[in-house]
Chains A and B, each alone.
Chain A
Amino acid sequence: MSVTVRIPQPLRRFTENRDVIELSAGTVGELLEQLERQYPGITERLREPDGQLRRFVNIYVDGEDIRFLSGLATEVRDGTEVSIIPAIAGGSESVLRC
């Protein structure tokens, strides 16, 4: 069983610069655990301490955002392509408030 995981450029310093990783897992959540086992520290960038996905990280399973599927419980199987993509946002609660 092998799932293809596409690693975004900002995370490649954890993966010896590899942009594609093959892993086996049954769900996206398990996939992240596998990823962490192979490249310790990487999922700290992706998940909050409580395990939730960070707000500005999106994960796609065969092109579909997992928020439209079952989130981290979304199933993956042989041949599935998973992409991790940091979301673009502009920021901006006023800097003056701090």
Chain B
Amino acid sequence: MAQATNTVEAETRSYVTGLRCRLCRAEYPERPVAICEECFGPLEVEYDYAALVRVISRELIASRPPTMWRYRELLPLGVPPRVGAETGYTPLVPAPRLGAALGLKNLYIKNDGVCHPTLSFKDRVVAVSLSKACEFGFDTVGCASTGNLANSVAANAARAGLKAYVFIPEMLEQAKILGTQIYGARVIAIRGTYDDVNRLCSEIVYTLNWGLVNVNLRPFYSEGSKTVGFEIAEQLGWRAPDAVVVPMAGGSLLTKIHKSFAELQHLGLIPPARPRLFGAQARGCNPIVAAIREGSEEIRPVKPRTIAHSLAIGDPADGYFAMRAIRESGGWAEDATDEEIREGIRLLAETEGIFTETAGGVTVAVTKKLAEQGRLSPDETIILTITGNGLKTMEALTASPPITIAPKIAEVERLLREGI
């Protein structure tokens, strides 16, 4: 048996057995494809769990550096990560003041707004998929993005010395555009919504030999999101929470957090539990919420209209899987109006000192609703996944001009008398 060491480099074995179609079960070797040739169903990475269960342990994981790679056996990489070796293991922060405001006694924030290097959970999926792109030998990479993925692909591609083409919808926050261009990536805005961008990118991979992380590298990309769930369980002392509230765009993050708890249980790393998954969307782009509410089997695409640009996917790729994870786990889904999103951002900042982006505002606002509806109970352990940073979506809010005074103590005293 290999000795556990503290370096990512020391262990290089992959437990991936291949890719498998979720619909018709056809098997494929590991390669940059996301779609089954037989039925167009999505492909999923498969692991040799029988071998995994013999090597993985809490002690082994705990002996490793605090990054997402401490769970490397459960990620689809056979070699040390080429990028993102420092990514992940973000703080799980107790949130008693927000909890008091919402009537929830055991509330925690999983704060991926401080993920390395680009301040969103997308750094996790990019760490896996760009490392995989290097393994497959791509010299040009890219993505279809609502902003955060763009930032992360651009930064990590720069570090890996890869050429990057990043496709975004024309309506996007300045910080998300600048925060992509700064790394030297080619940013191409598409006339239309994210869904038009996504459609174009799914055609591009058939004509150009590029590794688009959420298109032809998607089976690998999406596995990176599992580490959010792994970390939550480990940070809670190796147990699943009672409930997790997750913002949904394509629905991949929620689906993979669900999978992460199932894997940990299967491998005996946490006791049996049934964490409920709750999905959060903006009212102006709520196709998954609408299906859950109506009890429908169909997810009807919508044309997004919301300040939560990062969640503005009207035709969610993983909508059906997210819907199934929510239903099977006993969860629910709700949406938030633009005004509620802004209030959510403010509430989190004022109670817990965390400035999140619009997606986080959606998550906070939806948690409030779920608590009011009695779907979350006061004594449960509840996790709010905060997935992005407020400095990237400043347009959503307006700063009030600060009170300006002369540098005189009398002026300060006057202000205090006036009750400021």
**Would you call A67 and B300 a contact (CB within 8 A)?**
yes
**Contact B40 A90, beta carbon cutoff 8 Å:** no
Are the C-beta atoms of B46 and A90 separated by less than 8 Å? no
A90: nearest residue on chain B (CB-CB)?
Answer: B222
Once the chains are docked, how many angstroms separate the CA of A63 from the CA of B195? 11
Partner of B41, one of A56, A65, A95: A56
Chain B nearest CB from A72 CB (Å) reads: 15
Q: Produce 1/0 per residue, B167-211, CB < 8 A to A.
A: 000000000000000000000000000011011001100100000
**A-side contacts of B41, CB under 8 Å:** 56, 89, 91
Query: Is A10 part of the contact surface with B, judged by Cβ < 8 Å?
Result: yes
Cβ of B411 under 8 Å from chain A: no
A54 at the interface (CB under 8 A from B): yes
Is the pair B321, A88 in contact by a Cβ cutoff of 8 Å?
no
Residues of B within 8 A of A54 (CB): 39-40
How many Å from the CB of B145 to the closest CB on chain A? 13
Q: Find out whether the CB atom of A90 lies under 8 angstroms from the CB atom of B262.
A: no
Question: Which residues of the partner chain B approach A9 to less than 8 Å between Cβ atoms?
Answer: 206
Q: Which residues of chain B have C-beta atoms less than 8 A from A56's C-beta?
A: 23, 35, 39-42
Query: Per-residue CB proximity of B268-299 to A under 8 Å, as 1/0?
Result: 00000000000000000000000000000000
B301 at interface, CB cutoff 8 A:
yes
Q: Are A93 and B321 in contact (CB under 8 A)?
A: yes
Stretch at the interface among B5-13, B312-320, B392-400: B312-320
> Closest CB-CB distance, B132 to chain A, in whole Å?
14
| Structural contact, B266 and A96, CB atoms closer than 8 A | yes
B35 nearest in chain A by CB position: A86
* Residues in chain A near residue B196, CB distance under 8 A: 63
Complex contact A91–B219 (CB within 8 A) = yes
Q: Assess A94 versus B35: contact at CB under 8 Å? Given A56-B41, A87-B202, A89-B318.
A: no
Q: Once the chains are docked, how many angstroms separate the CA of A87 from the CA of B250?
A: 12
Q: Shortest beta-carbon distance, B304 to chain A, in Å? A: 13
A77 to B23 Cα, complex, angstroms: 35
Q: Is B325 an interface residue (CB 8 A)?
A: yes
Which B residues are CB-close (under 8 A) to A88?
A: 34-35, 42, 198, 202, 214-215, 218, 317
User: What is the interface of chain B, defined by CB distance below 8 A to chain A?
Assistant: 20, 22-23, 34-35, 37-44, 46-47, 49, 195-196, 198-199, 202-203, 206, 214-215, 218-219, 221-222, 250, 252, 255-256, 258-259, 262-263, 266, 300-301, 303, 315, 317-318, 320-321, 324-325, 328
Q: List 12 A-B contacts (CB under 8 A).
A: A86-B35, A87-B40, A87-B315, A88-B202, A88-B317, A90-B219, A90-B256, A91-B42, A93-B22, A93-B255, A95-B20, A96-B262
